[in-house]
Amino acid sequence: MLINSRQLLKDCLSKKNAIPAFNIYNLETARAILAVAAHYNSPVILAFGEKYLDHASFSVIHSLVETLANEVPCPVCLHLDHCKNLNNLKAAIDSGFTSVMYDGSLLPLEENISNLRIAADYAVNSDVSLEAELGGMNPETGESIEDKSLLRYTSVEEAVQLTEAVRIDSLAVSIGNAHGLYKDKPKLNFERLAEIESAVRLPLVLHGSTGIPDEQLAKAIKTGICKINVNTELAIVASNEARRILNSKNDVRFETVMLKAEEAIRIAAAPYMDICRNPIVKE
């Protein structure tokens, strides 16, 4: 059964642990993540972005995930990731998604809030959890933003203003994290994270978790991060495994390649499940 993430994230906030959100695109990616979640018997969030609509429709992904979720013992949330189009957000909710993210992070604060109010009204009426984002990060493609003024930490003042203006269930923050691959070792701003957590008292979300050292992820979770997003690493390991098999001299069938890629995703996802369940901070 699919559920929204509202109570799951509240529990994480009180227990100082987190739930991983893994991006999925098709049967193999969804099945890999749910196999890991079932192994740990832990809640998991499957995230599907509006940019993946070329892979499958919202209704297809919902039907696929709902069927698979009924076969595992743990809570499963189907989440719309990084949605900038309110029509897509509504379509995902109508298709059965149980959680949505409206990403107005690159908009002026007033416009972000205005659009979030529309999203919140639609989500609340459908018992769907809503995530917002503040602060500038590079796009989901991993490409850099030419206007560096957009790359900024989440403001405590703006976080308070947004959370007081509109009802949301979680807030994605920018504290030195980035989408895609990091060129240098990331260094999260834990002081800013603690200030935001103290000011808003809401579950916070960390995007761009691929490449962030375990000790920083653990500390972030202990400082208020209740959801970590993972995409790039899973995509890379699956692609590398497929490439390795295709470069072999064996006569390889397509379904064999997909199964091996699925196995690679399971192996890569497991450590994130571990650290969300047991965030041990090493000073």
Strands 44-49 and 76-83: parallel
* Spatial distance between the Cα atoms of 217 and 196, rounded to a whole number of angstroms: 17
Q: Is 54 a catalytic residue?
A: no
Question: Which residues, other chains included, contact 128 with Cβ-Cβ below 8 Å and sequence gap of 6+?
Answer: 4, 93, 97, 98, 99, 100, 122
- CA 78 to chain CA centroid, Å, is 10
Strands 129-133 and 99-102: parallel
Q: 3-class SS at 146? A: coil
- CA 120 to chain CA centroid, Å, is 19
- By the 8 A CB rule, do 225 and 208 touch? no
Nearest-10 Cα torsion for 14, 18, 23, 29: -120
DSSP string, 212-279: --HHHHHHHHHTTEEEEEE-HHHHHHHHHHHHHHHTSSS---HHHHHHHHHHHHHHHHHHHHHHHHS-
Encode the chain (283 residues) as per-residue pLDDT tens digits.
899 999 999 999 999 999 999 999 999 999 999 999 999 999 999 999 999 999 999 999 999 999 999 999 999 999 999 999 999 999 999 999 999 999 999 899 999 999 999 999 999 999 999 999 998 765 544 445 555 555 578 999 999 999 999 999 999 999 988 777 667 677 899 999 999 999 999 999 999 888 899 999 999 999 999 999 999 999 999 999 999 998 987 778 999 999 999 999 999 999 999 999 988 766 5
For residue 28 the two structure tokens come to 């193999």
81, 94, 127, 147: which one is catalytic? Answer: 81
CA angle 202, 207, 211 (to 5 degrees): 135
